[in-house]
Amino acid sequence: MLSGKNILIGITGGIAAYKICELIRMFKRYNANVRVICTPNAMNFVTKLTLQNLSQNEVGIEEFEIPDYKPEHISYADEADIMVIAPVTANTIGKIANGLCDNLLTSVVSAFKKPVIIAPAMNCNMWENGIIQENIEKLRKFGYEIVDPESGFLACGSEGTGRLCSLEKIFDRTVEILNSKKKLLNKKIVITAGGTIENIDPVRYISNYSSGKMGIALADIASSQGAEVVLISTVDVSRGYKVVKVKSALEMQEAVENEFDTADCVIMAAAVADYRVKNIACQKMKKTSENEITIDLIKNPDILKEISEKKTSQIVVGFCAESENLIENAKEKIVKKGCDYLIANDISRKDIGFSSDFNEVTILSKNGEMKKLERADKRQIAKQIFEVIYGQKCDCTDNREFCTSKSC
């Protein structure tokens, strides 16, 4: 399954570096060509000779070991199809996130234009540090694939999140990226994300808890599968595809209408406020002696229903967030809205939904069919949603053990 694929592995100076020897063997077992770059500190945990024997290639460590005319960091970047950095220390994460190139590995990353998988490993307190998390989020925004560390007993004796994730998870993600086909090529996918904001006055507003993570995950997956993506978002997003920043429901409606006629699919993943303030105060509303205040609200347009009524060849997908009677309410809503698919979320659960990186949804179709997607990270949920929408059957006859499709 990896024949002809060139995988570049980066190893940094963490105790989990020894585990990467087995990862190299896993890639080699499936006929990949593997090259390895190490930071100088990684040599405290694993030997160059071991890595060379396993990869059957020279191991790069020093930045200026130039065997020919071509600078080595450019040579590594040009030859590889994907770069896998594991384990990644907090130090190297900070360097990559801020564009520092003080060794061969960080220089290669800065010149690498193809997919990069980053698998962090460190002490739990370091992982939870706000600066580290900010750097991780920065890397996500620039398109780096982060495979989060797992919780358990750490080498330092602490218990918590920070240990390198399983090698199988890194391997599977690498295979998935390398073998992904552009299944949405020539499709224009319009996606909304986030919770709308309805002003009360210049300093107050009505909104909801939507983080936009599900919509962003859908946009990321659609883009990775070759689609022309337009993300209409109430939260700041920095990606390679088109992002239209909006605030209110009316602004979102206008943005969706601007893109609708040329869209192949519209996915309304945003949490659009049902009501807005009738008369927005021009100045900050002052507190009075009264114990109560009345604010008049009026209905916002039902964007999902309106675009469903005027669709021609477009596929229209809606989301519904319910705290009770999930399926019953979703069945009623898909008929009322008239969309092709409705994705039902249970927001009463703390382990999925709003602000979580995980979700569990049920997809209803206008034909009465239902498919439940079990709890998984939102990128995996997004991928499965597109498989349902576009009826993608598995064509990876040689890769069945890595396919999530039940048709295999």
Q: What does the pLDDT read at residue 68?
A: 53
Q: What domains can be seen in the chain, in order of their start residue?
A: 6-179 (3.40.50.1950), 188-402 (3.40.50.10300)
Residues 84-132 have pLDDT tens digits of: 999 999 999 999 999 999 999 999 999 998 899 999 999 998 999 999 9
Find, among 176, 130, 124, 168, the residue nearest to 150 by Cα.
Answer: 124
Q: What does the pLDDT read at residue 66?
A: 52
Which residues have C-beta within 8 Å of that of residue 6, sequence separation ≥ 6? 32, 33, 35, 79, 80, 81, 82
Q: What does the pLDDT read at residue 376?
A: 86
156 given a catalytic annotation: yes
Instruction: Considering the candidates 101, 124, 156, 265, report the single residue annotated as catalytic.
Output: 156
Q: What is the mean pLDDT of each run of 10 residues along the chain (408 residues)?
A: 91 95 96 95 95 94 62 74 96 96 93 93 92 92 88 80 92 86 89 97 95 94 92 91 97 98 98 96 93 94 97 96 92 96 90 84 95 90 93 46 36
Q: What does the pLDDT read at residue 65?
A: 59
Report yes or no: 222 and 191 within 8 Å, Cβ to Cβ. yes
* DSSP-derived 3-state class of residue 232: strand
Token pair recorded at residue 59: 């191991």
* Cα dihedral 105/108/113/118 (nearest 10): 0
Give CA–CA dist 272/123, Å, rounded.
Answer: 40
Letter string b/e over residues 359-390, b meaning 16 or more CB atoms within 10 A of that residue's CB: bbbbbbbeeeeeeebeebebbbbbbbbbbbbe
